Amino acid sequence: MTTAKDIMHAGAQWIPAHETLDRAAQLMRDLNVGALPIADRNERLCGILTDRDIVVGCVAMGHDPAKITCGEMAKGTPRWIDSGADVGAVLEEMQSHQIRRLPVVENKKLVGMISEADLAQQLSDEQLKAFCASVYAAS
């Protein structure tokens, strides 16, 4: 059985909720990623910040990314998956919540991220078609 841990990108990093968006953008650049999980002071997942969130939700609104925190941008209930979950559970979680990136947690610690590209490598053509239809339909 292929698990979330088998398909994830290992070494994902949190960004603390108190950090500013400009710092998040710098970290995204340094890590060459487009999203960062946001952690509260207890290192619990409280959201995910994307590069698009920074541009559309801050810069395009005329706000200063050096003055807005990652925690202020965190919205909704964050989704995650246990590292031992099978690919079917990963697919279901991402499809049912229409998300493109999914943090992977093991023993309450962030161990990786699964992107749509990671997942697509594990799917049949039919599964990939269904995934894209469900995730992108409402986008």
**Average pLDDT of 13-29?**
96
Identify the band that residue 42 occupies on the pLDDT scale cut at 50, 70 and 90.
confident
Of residues 35, 79, 67, the one with CA closest to residue 53: 35
Instruction: Provide, rounded to the nearest whole percent, the portion of the chain with pLDDT above 70.
Output: 98
What's the predicted TM-score (pTM) here?
0.84
Instruction: Provide, rounded to the nearest whole percent, the portion of the chain with pLDDT above 90.
Output: 58
Query: The CATH number of the domain where 36 resides is what?
Result: 3.10.580.10
Query: Looking at the 3D structure of the chain, how many domains does it have?
Result: 1
SS (H, E, C) the chain: CCEHHHHCEECCCCEECCCEHHHHHHHHHHHCCCEEEEECCCCCEEEEEEHHHHHHHCHHHCCCCCCCEHHHHCCCCCCCEECCCEHHHHHHHHHHCCCCEEEEEECCEEEEEEEHHHHHCCCCHHHHHHHHHHHHCCC
139 pLDDT above the threshold of 60: no
Instruction: State the average pLDDT for the chain.
Output: 90
Instruction: State which residues form the domain around 37.
Output: 4-137
Q: Can you give the pLDDT at residue 17? A: 96
Express each pLDDT in 97-136 by its tens digit: 988 899 999 998 899 999 888 888 888 888 888 878 877 7
11 pLDDT above the threshold of 90: no
